[in-house]
Amino acid sequence: MTWIEKDNALEREIRTPDFLSAFNLVSRLVAPAEALNHHPDVAFGWGYVRIRLTTHDAGGLTDKDRTLAARIDEAIKPFAG
């Protein structure tokens, strides 16, 4: 786990070799997010992906975020070590 708790959210930043690899990594988040019906805020571009998890309805972190973080870690392992 390389998530940082910050401003009532879990955040993880991953460096990637270029834009396409960043997009490919982002595309791996979609299935876990849809499966849990809980959705990250994502920022990406050339060489980076930033993922932010919070439970907007609850105004902060919940178990939903921690579960999604673990599923995302698993999904992006082939890309992000």
The correct pick among 4, 20, 35, 58 for binding its own copies (CB under 8 A) is 20
**Crossing angle of the two packed helices 63-80 and 19-27, in degrees rounded to 10:** 140
Q: DSSP letters along 13-65, please? A: EEE-SSHHHHHHHHHTTHHHHHHHT---EEEEETTEEEEEE-BGGGTB--HHH
Task: Kindly state the smallest distance separating residue 71's Cβ from its own copies, in Å.
Answer: 15
Question: Which of these segments, 1-9, 21-29, 58-66, 72-80, binds its own copies (CB under 8 A)?
Answer: 21-29
Q: How far is the CB of 44 from its own copies (least distance, A)?
A: 6
For its own copies, the binding residues (CB under 8 A) are 19-20, 23, 26-27, 30, 33-34, 39-46
